[in-house]
Structure 1
Amino acid sequence: MKAYKRPIQRSIILGSALFITFMCFILSLQSYLSFSKSLYQRYDDSLDNIVNYVHSQIDADDLYNCVQTKEHSEKYDRLQQTLNGMVDEFELFYLYIVFTRDTSMINVVSATSQAERDRGETDMPLLDSSEGYSYEEIQKYNRVLEQSEIKYFEEDSEWGAAYTACKPLANSSGKNYALICADISIEALHKTVNSYVIYNVVLTLILGLLFGFILIVWLRHNITGPILALEKSARKFAESSRNHKDPSELVFDTPTIHTENEVESLSRAISQMSEDMRKYIQSIVSAEEKIKSAQETAADMTLLAYKDALTHVGSKIAYDRAIRALENEISENKIPFAIAMIDLNNLKNINDGYGHSNGNCYIFGTCHIICSIFRHSPVFRIGGDEFVVILRDSDYENRHELIEQARQKFYETESDNSREPWERFSAAVGIAEYHSGDTVDMVFKNADKDMYENKMSMKNKN
């Protein structure tokens, strides 16, 4: 048998394998890019909300004056406390306001986490200088300072891989004098992306190999087999007919081929295979996009349904779900628990007198106090000015101290005349405990009654 330099069967198999490999690479790359973009967008949105909230809490001119005079102000101290609370609440690596000078990073305000305070660390001094930054790092921050919008970049820090958002801070004259920066860990993002990519690459390769095996079998049966059989018969006929003069000996051993025109049939088969391949790949990409879209839509709908849009605590729907779980636990004698009812005071006056944006700040600030006190319990916003806390475990054991702490905290903020009206948070707090034979609704009503009595007591004192 003659050895051909480029046998058609090997060429077709090699070409098919390269094509399948290329398509697997394209599909894996497209999947990686779209998934990474989606995850990074979520991190961008989260950091965007944090940086913008910090920006909304800053009196830019007052902070600029502190930088110029090197002296703290009352607003500066409040801003320091706000940043200290946020760095733990949002699990940030770091939250700070800085500006650059030569090869130094100059601190304006830097958050100190609870863990750092527990180790005895104190807040970084105003205008404290941090040396050792490279020229490239300084220029990166300088470029952001010249912008007017939030910029994001990824870097390695002593805490691990970090994702940073920076927003320029300008005084009333429009001068950018500092940067509001927030750092968050993205190690989880990298792990998620890598796991997703590995899964998709493996799945795509398996499908590619399976499809390749089926394709090779089909090609041998329908294309290369008949062509090789035809070539073998033709070559055998040529060899046997050489130097033969007897026409009866010139017999062509016709192979069993069920085609009328081999070249035309081969052309139609390749054309159909190419069309089938294109449709197959399109169906895979389309199905993947539909699944991804459905997953993202389901996740967004779940988030909207179970989280309050303003405060990010549990919504009324989430509370109803928690109540059903409590009712099941009561039937199974899984107790005890208590319900705390918190009703905001003066919200209508704030909305009418200072606008709904400050009213939202009033609601958000009150919610922050509630969450910081009842930190081990689920908090729900069930109305415009009503919050409910379900106390279990350690919070239940310390329920009376926590209720007293909440009432005292609201009394202090309401009495603090140095605050803006929408920062003088006030709320009536009531509590009721579950007793054998009660329903969840009875406990809720008793908590509401206790809250109402506390509200009347507060009005009588005023």
Structure 2
Amino acid sequence: MKSIQTKFILLIFGCVLLSAAVIGGAGILSAGRVIDEDSGRIMNLTCDDRAQEIDALLLRIEQSVNTLAEYSAGQITDLTRFHDDASYVDTVTDQIRAVALNAANNTEGALAVYVRFSPDLAPSTAGLFWSRTDRSGSFTELKPTDISRYSAEDVEHVGWYYQPIENGKPLWMMPYQNKNIGVQMISYVIPLYRDGVAIGVVGMDIDFEVIEHIVKDIRIYDTGYAFLVDDDARILSHKSAPHGSLMADLEQGLQPTADQMVASASDNGLLSYTWRGNDKRMALSTLHNGMRLGITAPVSEIDAAMNALIFQNVISFALIALLSIVLTVLVTRRIIQPLKDLDRAAKRIADGDLSIKLESRTKDEVGTLTESFRQTVEHLRRYLEYINGLAYRDGLTGLKNKMAYNDAVERLNEEIRSGKPAFGVVVLDINDLKDVNDTHGHDFGDMLIIDSGKIICDVFKHSPVYRVGGDEFVVILEQRDLTSRCELLNDLERKIEQVNADAQLASPVSLARGLAVYDETIDCDFNAVFKRADEAMYRNKAAIKAFSASEE
């Protein structure tokens, strides 16, 4: 059976649990939605921001090449002469040379710059080509490639020339490896036109590392990073994936993600995928040159804030639940404790114990009930004391009677059985009570009994005195009265003499007494001690009679 306090605690805990589930669940769902939106916004904004940084670099490169292209086209004032006069071509080239070198020197990451004229209008090596032999070296003018040696379909060798011409507009070429200097490069090429006729191209090779440096410097969350792919989801720059590999081929299960990257018309939202066993999300942004900048991070890090929120909610719920239980225990204890006290009191009363004390701790209905119960117990205790007084008191002397004496004997017998009690027994008997009754009447006899009882009680102040017969008294000595038993017996004799001398009694008081002390070696129960005391009393009675006879 559950106690009332347990029911209160279960009720409060259930309410707290339900409230936490409803409020916390709604809060977590709402926070999860906000966190998802924030994470998507953060990743997309970061991706767009860094894409703009790369685009700014690309635009600066484009501006340098555009300026050089406009200047180069402006130097060809006579297209017919350019076609027929080789010296005119050389003059134009000389005019462009310094401008081209200056453009290359002032463009971040530039590794080479070239101005090439159409082999249909000028010699196949016409133009200029400045290149660095290494990243830190200075520009050196090299002999231009002989375009006529390669077909227009040979993209590897002359794609830089024919592709812009065929497109009819500026072209960013995807990164490729320059095997001469062992550098990854990316090129921007502009076709040159004069009077609607294609007269050549102007281009610049850029160290792809300047772009990769920006990409590698991008960090998001704890381990998030950035990468570059082309519009076919081919890896251009990645912290671990090899250059040129298709994303779909890197790991089984990436094909749908690669298809999404290729088909995505916009860069909003996040793509979810799994990479090397880790669930991840990716933001994409299309660069000015057609490359795609991706920023990726593990879902565990993106959702860390939500996980932390869930953990905080769990901790908060645990603390609130604990606090609620503590408060419930404290509050219900004030309510339940008086009821528990009443319950214990009722059980003790049922067992016959009326010594309980009840205090009204509250001023509510429980306090009123406690006070009523306390008054009832007090009235019952007084009534039982009155009844016990009638049952255990001698009606004549007011001393303890034979019934009370029997209870005391039972108690001492129990102590003898369970331990080694220390007590003594004094048996007293009124001498010549029958003669007083016969001579002066029972009223005088009763007065003699009363006077004798008073004398005994005055001497044995700390021990119970029992009237066990008409003229017989028993005193049970314990503690200091037991220790002082001899002195007390002497005091008894002196007290009797004093009372007989001072009081005008119809009959003098004469008490025969006998003393015995419990000895565990010879006494097996109380009656054995009493018997020795009673025998001593009779010997004393005989001695008193003999003394009285000798005086007569």
Higher Cα radius of gyration: 2
Return the TM-score normalized by structure 1. 0.36
- Higher helix fraction (1 or 2): 1
Return the TM-score normalized by structure 2. 0.31
